[in-house]
Amino acid sequence: MTSAIVSNETAPLDRGRVAVDIPMGWYQVGWADEIEPGGIKPVVAFGEDYILFRKEDGEIHMMTAYCGHMGAHLGYGGVVEDGCVVCPYHGWKWNESGKVVDIPYSKRVNPSRRLGTLPVKIVSGLIFAWYHPSGGEPTWADPMPAIAEHGHPEYYPIWPHLSRVEEMNGHPQYVVENQVDAAHFVHVHKWSEYPQIDDYGPDGHCFTSLTRAKLKTKRGTVTQHVEVKAWGVGIVISRHRFEFPGEETSHEKGGLGEVTTICTTPTSPGRAELRMTAWIPREEGDEDVPSGRAAAMLRASHREVYERDWQIWDHLRYSDKPAYAREEARAFAEVRQWTEQYYDWQER
Ligand code: FES
Ligand SMILES: [Fe+2]
């Protein structure tokens, strides 16, 4: 039997930087209302086990999960007492700075042993932790600006019904590049036309893009304006506005619309948790649970991200040198150039 050589060309594999790197940045690790005062929650992030705990006064902190005495996981059976975490194994008590402040059966505490902590901030009900591979301080103070719709009486509360988390294969870099990917809206999200990216560009730690698309609906052709702002690689905020025939709106013009955040947090190499939060105007008569048009809007947002985008991302192998079409090259190159700063810590 003979075998035919189809091609004798070989090319080196392009595995891409995201196979191993976690860029520095603010990443969402939960929702503030997930944890009651006095509560503890185990969290896996950045290749490590942590706990989030909420002091009785409401402050939230994040700390290494494993007790500095003999390594019990503080998130399983630990309790919050006087603003500290008490280990379930032998009762050692750890404060928010990771220092042991009490060993119930010893007169001495061991001051040399300290648990790692991460800076934590809460913005509009989302908990963010600062990650830097070598422990560097945050390079920008607030993870993202407050969402004006948060707590607005005409919007649903985000927790628990408008918040969702899933863990999948992926990396925040894919998500942050998605905003300038005009072509994928047709092929992945089934839009009838390629959208127009009106403007895009970086401003410090924020990268903005403004996209406009024509959608065919029963009410005629509707223009959808999407404003996307990424804050570092971990946080993406989208605002959607619809312009119906005969009406005039723009990216700047108000009106109650849908706002979503898509926050991608690396958990272990090649894996990430994707948290999506939606601020949607309340249907008349509703309390916390969306119904009717609002429920349909939420289902559609979840479908677009968790089914359509993620079917691609879950199996994608990131390429450091993609073969861009001429029309898309500039926008992708700008996003990538902007994200360089978050990988800067590495010596290359
Ligand atoms: S392992 Fe935590 S007190 Fe012993
Ligand atoms: Fe997408």
* CATH T-level fold of 18-131: Rieske Iron-sulfur Protein (2.102.10)
Give the number of C-alpha atoms closer than 13 A to the C-alpha of residue 312, restricted to the C-beta side. Answer: 13
Strands 120-123 vs 117-118: parallel, antiparallel or unpaired: unpaired
In the chain, where does the domain assigned CATH 3.90.380.10 lie? 163-342
Average pLDDT value over all residues in the chain: 91
Contact between 124 and 142 (Cβ < 8 Å):
no
CATH superfamily of 163-342: Naphthalene 1,2-dioxygenase Alpha Subunit; Chain A, domain 1 (3.90.380.10)
DSSP H or E stretch at residue 298: helix 292-302
Confidence of residue 254 (pLDDT cuts 50, 70, 90): very low
Q: What distance in angstroms lies between residue 104's CA and the mean position of ligand 1's atoms?
A: 11
Atom of ligand 1 nearest to the CA of 90: 3
What pLDDT, on a 0 to 100 scale, did the predictor assign at position 112?
Answer: 81
Residue 89 CB–ligand 1 contact under 6 Å: yes
In the chain, where does the domain assigned CATH 2.102.10.10 lie? 18-131
DSSP H or E stretch at residue 246: none
What pLDDT, on a 0 to 100 scale, did the predictor assign at position 10?
Answer: 59
The 10 Å CB-count burial string (b at 16+, else e) for 205-244 is bbbbbbbbbeeeeeeeebbbbbbbbbbbbbbbbbbbbbbe
Residue 9 has pLDDT above 80, yes or no: no
Which amino acid is it at 324? Y
Condensed to tens digits (0 to 9), the pLDDT of residues 266-276 reads 999 889 999 99
Q: What distance in angstroms lies between residue 68's CA and the mean position of ligand 1's atoms?
A: 7
In three state form, how does the secondary structure of 61-103 look? EEEECECCCCCCECCCCCEEECCEEECCCCCCEECCCCEEEEC
Best residue among 69, 76, 113 to mutate for probing ligand 1's pocket (most ligand atoms within 8 Å of CB) is 69
Best residue among 84, 90, 105, 114 to mutate for probing ligand 1's pocket (most ligand atoms within 8 Å of CB) is 90
Give, using CA atoms, the residue closest to atom 1 of ligand 1: 70
pTM recorded for the entire structure: 0.92
Residue 92 CB–ligand 1 contact under 6 Å: yes
SS3 53: strand
